[in-house]
Amino acid sequence: MTQIEGKVVAITGASRGIGEATALLLAKHGAKVVLGARGSADLAALTDRIVGAGGNAVYTVTDVKRREDLSQLVTLARQRYDKLDVLINNAGVMPISPLDDLRVEDWDEMIDVNIKGVLYGIAAALPLFRSQGFGQFINIASTAGFKTVPNQSVYSGTKFAVRAISEGLRQEAGGRLRVTIISPGFVATNFAERITNQSVKAELEASRDEVAMPPSAVARAIAYAIGQPADVDVNEIVIRSTVQT
């Protein structure tokens, strides 16, 4: 954790779940966190919580479907703290359903947030990382990026894509930039709230309640990757509860 102190870390999807837990943990260990999410009230509350505990945090409302919002998040980090050490592309959605439901709008949403949102983050931060001569991308994928199951094919496809994009970026990055994929299993968050197929929603929530790990577990994995020496790149961490198959 000593490697985390003083680092500037921007986080998308920061107001809840994994993003919130990561912001709290990193700020506790001396990072300056730059928070982005769609909900201004939640962002303000989290920022106040961190600052009230003696940490350092700022925020800007960020919809990762808008490239300009990712640019603003990176610009805020640079303007406020003169650098950006880490961008955590965490924002994601999971409105899964059987393909027969033809919920094309949900397919579009997953592609726009889970894939294009990561690409927009890369586009915003990569030029700054190149000019600084250092930087780390941490892209949140999923165990669904290794295995496809019924009802999750589009979501799974987006996470396969995140892993492929991240690995390609790692190979292109050179010796000064780091790229880490974090692939969690079930996490105790509200990821099922936007699922409209009620039987699929109930099944997923039951699985979550049975095997999910807390968001703080994923936050610790992220902190581990950030906390390595500059010449060590943790390429991927797969993390799940011991009871998840």
- Give the residue numbers marked as catalytic: 155
> Which residues, other chains included, contact 215 with Cβ-Cβ below 8 Å and sequence gap of 6+?
17, 18, 20, 21, 22, 187, 188, 189
CA distances from 195 to 65, 141, 188 (A): 19, 19, 16
Contact 212, 241 (CB under 8 A): yes
Pairing status of strand 8-12 against strand 56-61: unpaired
Residue among 43, 10, 14 at smallest CA distance from 126: 10
The H-or-E segment that residue 218 falls in is helix 215-226
CB of 29 within 8 A of CB of 1? Answer: yes
Per the listing, tokens 């894509």 go with 161
